[in-house]
Amino acid sequence: MEKIVVTNNGPLSGNVKVDGAKNAALPIIAASLLGTEPIILENVPKLSDINVILKVLESLGSKVEYLDENVVRIDSSKLTGHVAPMELMNRMRASFLVMGPLLARRGETMTYLPGGCAIGKRPIDLHLKGFKALGAKVIEEVDRIEALAKEGLVGDTIYIDFPSVGATQNIMMAATMAKGETVIENAAKEPEIVDLANFLNKLGANIKGAGTSAIRVKGVTKLGGGQHAIIPDRIEASTYMVAAAITRGDITVENCIPSHVMPIIAKLKEVGCQVYVNEEKDVIRVIGGKKLIGTDIKTLPYPGFPTDAQAQFMALLTTAEGQSMVTETVFENRFMHVDELLKMGAIIATDAREARIAGVPSLKGAQVRATDLRAGAALILAGLVAEGKTYISEVEHIDRGYDDIVGKFKKLGAKIERIQE
């Protein structure tokens, strides 16, 4: 079994460069199924989830090759399949995003129910509602879903009950080749939505309004190829920003778009950190205050506080003076890291979707497990300031969203390593 071992090393300092956003790369790679000419994607992060989605594309007939470490060429001009393999679907939820492109491109798709982190119910009914509104026939079975649109999709106005990122992306991709115009109302506004729309427009799509609550898609007959660079990962950036705060260090985060992490900047200032932003160079410097004060956070869809940064910020709040409260509104089961932080001496009481935190003078190293991707990052952060050693198991979750997290923390001065047991 592989573990990450973290030892308290005092304040961290230095520069760290953020990779491309996993949550932008996954849907853009899925959208490459729409292209009838070669596509070159830059700034693609090297993650296990990326490997999975690329294998899904290969299984469907796409040709995939790395031109450089973070540059991928995808040729989907000759697709041969429409069924996503079960063994790959079970490994990652985002693999469900191939359904919209396949429905648009081939008029049929069959997929198995997706897997991923167990952070709560993430129903796909909003995706299917959108497909049905576009004229697809959806057949649901116990473990798989089939969608058919042999005569092509037809544009419509679709209201999404909750601004789901995945549903917005899947419907937007399906609508790119639908007849007429599609309007997605109450759409998600995340930067990853905008990046996907920009990519699709480069291929020849006609999408307007991405980043607002109403996205308009005028269908085209086909999409071509193009070149696109993935936006920086705002959650990875947030993690290193919180690392500066929790270790009372001084970290400069490079390749980070400041407007994408405004809630993190605001809350770090509230707890007592200094934050310096250089929008021209996409750089943020965070200096952790010697005395940090507790605050409250509430996760919300973008531009609110991101649920993907909740666990990391909770780790920070366990070390801040006074009381704090974390309210999780996006996923109902995203407090699994609480039990692990309790093992390290944190004082946290949960009630449904609320967690009340009383700051402690210090945490203690313990044997903990990464219950999900962001929980794993939170435990690394806690281990950086805990007395003794912290042993984190199930690190495969962490590898799903962070490329070389151990190496990057080492460059900042952390005592951290991977071991085999």
- What are the residue numbers of the active site? 117
Half-sphere exposure of 114 (CA within 13 A, CB side): 22
In sequence order, the 6+-apart residues with CB closer than 8 A to the CB of 259 are 279
* Cβ-contact 383, 392 below 8 angstroms: yes
Q: Where are the alpha helices (DSSP H) in 203-335?
A: 234-246, 262-271, 310-317
Sign of the CA dihedral 204, 206, 209, 213? negative
Half-sphere exposure of 397 (CA within 13 A, CB side): 21
Half-sphere exposure of 360 (CA within 13 A, CB side): 19
Distance CA 414, CA 410 (A): 5
- Burial class for 122, CB neighbours closer than 10 Å (0-12, 13-18, 19+): middle
What is the Cα gyration radius of the chain? 21
Distance CA 135, CA 190 (A): 27
Beta bridge partners of 71: 68
Return the C-alpha torsion angle 141, 142, 144, 147, nearest 10: 20
Concatenated DSSP letters of 121-170? ----HHHHHHHHHTT-EEEE-SSEEEEE-TT--B--EEE-SS--HHHHHH
Concatenated DSSP letters of 78-108? T----B--HHHHTT-GGGGGGHHHHHHHHSE
